[in-house]
């Protein structure tokens, strides 16, 4: 999950899609339907190695398998993780999460999740990188699959963070959240708006995706979530008819992939590796703001969704580790 179980945004319309989830991401997955006690046919499975009974030796690699999503979806997530770790590897420590948090599941095996985390070294502007995938069977059949990557910067810079989350509830439905969430007020700091959102032409990525006939706006029911995203955030829902199930995969491969990689490239160049410094007073402000967002992410998302999906023991274990990562 995105830092834990992610999941994320709630839907305003009655979709099968429970709510985008995101452990360490920016949105809440609050009302996910409880998974059925009966195992169901998995959706979007691309690997037979996805059984929850894998050995502890496999847990460190489980995250990068993305076993329940389609090949284009999996390839996108693997490419994004590789971009981050190739560019920032010398700035990041190893993933030291315990095996039972790197991969976890409920007793019936109807819900599974992974968490991947690397903290920035003391010399780095990166606070931590979080990645996750979440899979759960839906009571109505099919499955919910959420994949997420988020990156947080330290208060030594005021540059935006990074977030991507893809939520699938069927082969013909997808919600995408892609953003560089701001860490300053864009009205008070017009230079910040120009530097990170206007000059980088981030909005052109959203405009390009909206040329696709299948794309429509997605609105989180959580007002808090709407407050923390940027004006160039890509928050969309894509629906195709049953006869065109493969169209979603085409859109991921031909359109979403390029937009996500460009947004990440901008974040790596301008934010994670940019040359911005802040004074002591501003650092204190950023620390407080970042802490509030992290706390709210756990409160409105993880603490509500994880226990329902995984039971209190597993949920408490994962949330406890996330609190350590978030330092809240």
How does residue 39 score in pLDDT terms, banded at 50, 70 and 90? very low
> Which residues pair with residue 137 across a beta bridge?
143
pLDDT tens digit sequence for 137-157: 988 888 999 999 999 999 999
Question: What is the share, in percent, of the chain residues with pLDDT greater than 90?
Answer: 68
How does residue 43 score in pLDDT terms, banded at 50, 70 and 90? very low
At residue 155, the 3 state secondary structure works out as coil
Give residue 60's pLDDT: 55
pTM: 0.84
Give residue 301's pLDDT: 76
DSSP code string of 87-153: HHGGGB------HHHHEEE-TTSSEEEEEEEEEBPTTSSEEEEEEEEEEEE-TTSSEEEEEEEEEEE
130 neighbors 115 (Cβ within 8 angstroms): yes
* Region 163-181 average pLDDT: 95
Evaluate if residue 16 carries a pLDDT over 60. no
**What six digits make up the tokens of 215?**
């794309």
Domains in the chain (CATH in brackets) are 62-279 (3.40.1500.20)
pLDDT tens digit sequence for 251-274: 999 999 999 999 999 999 999 999
pLDDT tens digit sequence for 194-216: 999 999 999 999 999 999 999 99
pLDDT tens digit sequence for 216-225: 999 888 788 8
Evaluate if residue 311 carries a pLDDT over 90. yes
User: Where are the alpha helices (H) located in the chain, listed in sequence order?
Assistant: 59-65, 71-88, 99-102, 190-193, 203-209, 223-228, 245-251, 257-266, 280-297, 303-310, 312-326
Evaluate if residue 276 carries a pLDDT over 50. yes
The answer to which of 23-27, 185-189, 318-322 has the lowest mean pLDDT is 23-27
Averaged pLDDT of the chain: 83
Strands in 143-153's sheet, in edge-to-edge order, are 103-105, 111-119, 126-137, 143-153, 162-170, 173-179, 234-239, 215-217
Place of tokens 């810079």: 157
The answer to which of 44-48, 84-88, 293-297, 323-327 has the lowest mean pLDDT is 44-48
């Amino acid at each position: 999950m995105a830092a834990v179980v992610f999941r994320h945004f709630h839907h305003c319309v009655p979709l099968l899609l429970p709510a985008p989830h995101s452990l360490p991401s920016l949105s809440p997955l609050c009302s996910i339907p409880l998974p059925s006690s009966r195992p169901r046919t998995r959706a979007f499975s691309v690997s037979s190695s996805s059984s929850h009974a894998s050995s502890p030796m496999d847990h460190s690699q489980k995250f990068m398998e993305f076993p329940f999503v389609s090949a284009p979806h999996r390839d996108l997530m693997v490419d994004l993780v590789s971009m981050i770790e190739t560019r920032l590897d010398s700035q990041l420590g190893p993933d030291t999460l315990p095996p039972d948090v790197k991969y976890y599941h409920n007793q019936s095996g109807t819900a599974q999740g992974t968490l991947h985390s690397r903290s920035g070294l003391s010399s780095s502007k990166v606070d931590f990188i979080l990645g996750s995938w979440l899979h759960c069977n839906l009571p109505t059949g099919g499955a919910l699959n959420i994949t997420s990557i988020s990156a947080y910067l330290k208060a030594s810079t005021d540059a935006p963070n990074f977030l991507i989350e893809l939520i699938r509830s069927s082969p013909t439905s997808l919600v995408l959240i892609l953003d560089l969430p701001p860490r300053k007020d864009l009205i008070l700091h017009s230079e910040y708006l120009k530097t990170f959102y206007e000059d980088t032409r981030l909005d052109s990525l959203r405009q390009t995706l909206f040329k696709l006939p299948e794309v429509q706006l997605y609105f989180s029911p959580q007002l808090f979530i709407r407050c923390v995203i940027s004006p160039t955030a890509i928050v969309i829902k894509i629906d195709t008819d049953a006869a065109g199930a493969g169209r979603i995969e085409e859109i991921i491969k031909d359109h979403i992939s390029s937009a996500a990689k460009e947004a990440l490239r901008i974040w790596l160049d301008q934010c994670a590796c940019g040359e911005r410094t802040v004074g002591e007073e501003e650092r204190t402000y950023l620390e407080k703001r970042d802490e509030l967002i992290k706390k709210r992410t756990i409160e409105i998302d993880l603490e509500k969704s994880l226990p329902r999906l995984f039971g209190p023991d597993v949920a408490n274990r994962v949330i406890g580790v996330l609190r350590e990562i978030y330092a809240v």
